[in-house]
A and B are shown apart, each in its own frame.
Chain A
Amino acid sequence: MSGGAELGFTEHLFKVLVIGDHKVGKTSFVKRYVKNQFYEELKTTIGVDFSMKVIDWDSHTRVRLQLWDIAGQERLRGLNRVFFKRSSGALVVYDMTNGSTLDGALNWKHELDSQVMLKNGRPIPAVLLANKCDETKVCRRNASLLEKLCQEKGFIGWFQTSAKENINVDEAAKFLVKHILQNNEESVKEEEQNMQINLKQQSKSNSTCC
């Protein structure tokens, strides 16, 4: 998923899923992140809404994020499963004002892990977003609960966000991208190692062959 290196400049293209129950604010989150806009009423997402965010990560890295904002209705979940493949990371969103959507988010995470994984078999990095935090506050007990959930369910972290008030939107995405980049480097290294092993094996076999 990474582009070619040119004069030490790398461009990466990552597919990031935005999943969660309906009406938790996935599309609003994406709109805020990509366009820095907020609308009270957006059209329901049917299927997938696509967005692209280009990040100049540092002086020699550019990241292109393909955001796949997937329709939330339970009924359509089977349909949308096919959209999971080849994704590098996920933002799993729930609505802080609606407790049942947290369970939904955990289901989505479960589904995600069953559908996609990294090359090394580990789950793809996923961040849990407690959205609409402008409407309520997380008390400390909740915070520790979320912390625990993250560890149990294998999220790399959680953020309370508000697309409306633009709270933690960039931060959460940045956090995810950082992990995706790390994974990417690791997998590149692993590949290199594998290549070397292959080469060694090849040279060995070559030598024995003669």
Chain B
Amino acid sequence: MGYPPSGVQKSSVISEHCGHSVDSPVKLMVESSSSGGRGAEEGRPPPHIADVIDSKENTVQGMFSHTGTTQGEKGQLHSSQDHEVPESCDKVQHQTSNQPCGAKLPNGHAVKSSHPAGSYLNSEDNCVIANGELLADSRGGALDAVASAPPPQDASEDQTTSSEDPKDARNSVFNNTRSCSEGLSLRTFSSSTFLNTDSAPLSPDDDETFSSSDRPDDPSFTDVSLKPRNTYESSRRQSAPDNIPGVLSVAVADLTLSQRKHGISEIFSRNLFSRKQREAQSAPGWKLFGKVPLRESPPKDSKTIQQEYEAKVSKSGQRKNLEFEPLSTTALILEDRPANLPAKSEEEAQRHRQEYDEMVAEAKKRELKEAQKKKKQMKERFKQEESIVNAMVVWNNEILPNWESMRGTRRVRDLWWQGLPPNVRGKVWSLAIGNEMNITSDLYEIFLSRAKERWKSFRETGSEMESDADSADRESSLDLIKLDISRTFPPLFIFQKGGPYHDLLHSVLGAYTCYRPDVGYVQGMSFIAAVLILNLEEAEAFIAFTNLLNKPCQMAFFRVDHELMLKYFAAFEVFFEENLPRLFNHFKSSNLTPDLYLIDWIFTLYTKSLPLDVACRVWDVFCRDGEEFLFRTGLGILRLYEEVLLQMDFIHIAQFLTRLPEDTPSERLFSCIANTQMISGNRKWTQVFNALLKDKEMEKSSSPTVKNS
């Protein structure tokens, strides 16, 4: 069955990966478990995070014993459990990334509350579970093995199979879980599983099942209420998007079945498939993947087919030679000839068998190769995650407590360059941006309440009826905030109406327009505020936002000081020519001026054009090095894509640069940035820029009519 070793490898890696940040997913689970009701009512204390983790370990153990790995590996895995929890923060990143540009959340924030993004995530999990269960059942092989493995609950198995009353309470539970798998939220999911555990004792035979399934040799499984989550967790982990779905779902199936616990897994197998289970034990028949069969008729179909198949298979034992069958080839192949067709000749049959074997061998090779590739990727990822974890420890224990003395040291700067670990990111940004404006959270509250008043009166008066232009502009900027919020990282579905951070973003931007009516709201701000909100608490985000926008470069842009902006563009061009003369000339000859792409890049600090995780890394160093780094990043992007850009004409370059590829690789970009020297003939950025500013003053004195647009 599958390849156990790689399955094992994977799960250990997965559990390692994203090993930082605190407890958000678990918190979520605990919340929902207590809301699940009965478990708590029965006097059990709400499960602690530790419990959950504990149970997870067991899950994994279960799988291990099943897949036959050694104790040593198990030990390894255990150690990896310590920082296992935050995986889900990574999951959010993946699952919300329909459009990877802008999809990665820089930390696990999003999981905290029950919001659309969260339920999205969870519904997907549920589906996976459903699939896993079905796989378990339809894959005769897996079940076979499970059944032959010696779980002590075999007796309970028999009981459950004999009690097949369709009106059984469990059936309704099954329905619940099914509807869950069709996309309801975690809450529904967990409550239904709870219902399951709690309703089980209602029928007498289940009571017995219960007691017999409580393995005495497994002390950590005493808390029944943990079990559903347990299964849930395991499939969750298995469903991490980097895995090979086929192999893993088999693993999930094995795992859940081998546990023989009262999770939804068992509901599935008991109610729907228990009859089939026994038949499946004797021969692998159909391998049906994916779809959830409806309750009555489809199983019957497959049953008859299975029987036919069994008869045939005993004649030609051919296929059993293959120790391994790739899933992709055998998945939906009806291995025998339909009855209404004449029998094959011996030769033909022989040939077909041969061809079939070749196909299988080919596919096997391919899948092995792919698995190796994945393994390698996982290894790299694992390494990366490990370094993040290490970096996090260093930041938290050494650097942050001694911020002022250490921030400038070589070591810290190097570490900083490599990207801040997501859970210290916000803190470091705050510290690096500083608080020159002396904003406090009280001040934020004041501006926020002012903004709220204004919204209220705005809603009452309807529209821009007020006479003086200034207030009309302000009103329209309030109006604009509302419109723009929904257009901030749309694929994340966090800031959209109904999303968890919609109001937050609205508040921060609204408070800012009250704090700086002279600047007001300018498009592009919503992106910056959004990124801060993803990394910081509300008031802190506001403080960072106001201080960030007060930096000279940002002020120039957001006040739309066109002339000053042109100076920035001109300075950029100086370094552009210095670093990438060929591309510079190509742009010149295509009439492509830097404002066409720099406006987008600088206004949004790259959050709109770069993938969000890459943009956050740019922010990291921007906080360290200041505005110069923004332009250096721009040059790094141009360097990264130099060869491609040299082949393009005006419109394609312009298009390309405002919509950078969604898979822009962070490492390569940063090495391109590192290769970009911000020195032009001994002059640094600030010197070049200041020289240009002086020109401006001269221009001004010579032609006083130059208007400030």
Contacts and interface: CB of A to CB of B under 8 A. Distances in A.
Given A49-B658, A52-B655, A44 B496 contact: no
A85 B354 CA distance: 70
A197 interface: no
A75 B520 contact: yes
Contact of B560 (A39, A44, A76): A76
Contact of A44 (B473, B476, B523, B599): B523
A107 interface: no
Interface string B105-116: 000000000000
Contact size range, B: 35 or more
B90 interface: no
A78 B709 contact: yes
A204 interface: no
A52 B652 contact: yes
A41 B484 contact: no
Given A42-B490, A47-B603, A78 B562 contact: yes
Interface in B630-665: 650-652, 654-655, 658
Interface of A: 22-23, 39, 41-52, 66, 71, 73-76, 78-79, 81-83, 100
B169 interface: no
A22 B658 contact: no
B310 interface: no
A43 B488 CA distance: 6
Given A22-B484, A48-B596, 10 more contacts: A22-B523, A43-B102, A43-B489, A46-B604, A47-B595, A47-B600, A52-B651, A74-B476, A75-B520, A76-B560
Contact of B595 (A49, A66, A73, A82): A82
B464 interface: yes
Interface in B658-679: 658
B523 A71 contact: yes
A78 B560 contact: yes
18 contacts: A22-B483, A39-B490, A41-B486, A42-B487, A42-B490, A43-B102, A44-B523, A45-B523, A46-B523, A46-B604, A47-B658, A48-B600, A52-B655, A71-B523, A73-B523, A78-B562, A79-B565, A79-B599
Given A74-B476, A100-B464, A79 B600 contact: no
B524 interface: yes
A50 B523 contact: no
B371 interface: no
Contacts of A47: 595-597, 599-600, 603, 658
A135 to B, nearest CB: 15
B691 interface: no
Contact of B654 (A22, A46, A50): A50
Nearest to B489: A43
B55 interface: no
Contacts of A73: 480, 522-523
A184 to B, nearest CB: 19
Give the interface SS of chain B, mostly helix, strand, loop or mixed. helix
Given A42-B490, A47-B599, A71-B523, A100 B463 contact: yes
The winner among B484, B523, B527, B604 for most chain A CB atoms within 10 A is B523
Contact of B655 (A22, A50, A71, A78): A50
A76 B654 contact: no
A43 B651 contact: no
Nearest to B490: A41
Nearest to A41: B490
Contacts of A48: 596, 599-600, 654, 658
The winner among A23, A73, A82, A100 for most chain B CB atoms within 10 A is A73
B709 A44 contact: no
A41 B494 CA distance: 13
B10 interface: no
B560 to A, nearest CB: 5
Interface string B516-527: 000010111011
A45 B599 CA distance: 11
A43 B608 contact: yes
The winner among A47, A66, A79 for most chain B CB atoms within 10 A is A47
Contact of B522 (A42, A52, A76): A76
A78 B600 CA distance: 15
A50 B709 CA distance: 24
A179 B476 CA distance: 35
Nearest to B593: A82
Interface string B588-612: 0000000111011001100010000
Contacts of A22: 480, 483-484, 523
Given A44-B484, A48-B654, A81 B709 contact: yes
Contact of A79 (B489, B496, B560): B560
Given A22-B480, A46-B599, A75 B562 contact: no
A46 B655 contact: no
A75 B489 CA distance: 22
A52 B651 CA distance: 7
Contact of A46 (B477, B520, B562, B603): B603
B143 to A, nearest CB: 44
Contacts of A41: 486-487, 490, 496
A46 B488 CA distance: 12
Contacts of A74: 473, 476
B201 to A, nearest CB: 48
A43 B487 contact: yes
A81 B597 CA distance: 15
Interface in B16-36: none
A47 B659 CA distance: 12
B487 A44 contact: yes
A68 to B, nearest CB: 9
A1 to B, nearest CB: 12
Contacts of B483: 22-23
B535 to A, nearest CB: 20
Interface string B240-273: 0000000000000000000000000000000000
Contacts of B600: 46-48
A39 B491 CA distance: 11
A51 B651 CA distance: 7
Contacts of B524: 44, 46
B150 to A, nearest CB: 55
A165 to B, nearest CB: 20
A41 B484 CA distance: 10
Contacts of B597: 47
A39 B490 CA distance: 10
Contacts of A79: 560, 562, 565, 599, 709
A84 to B, nearest CB: 13
Contacts of B522: 73, 75-76
Contacts of B102: 43
A46 B709 contact: no
A209 B608 CA distance: 65
B624 to A, nearest CB: 25
Contacts of A39: 490
B568 to A, nearest CB: 13
A132 to B, nearest CB: 13
Instruction: Enumerate the 9 nearest inter-chain pairs by beta-carbon distance, A residue then B residue, closest first.
Output: A47-B599, A78-B709, A41-B490, A50-B654, A50-B655, A44-B487, A47-B600, A23-B483, A73-B523
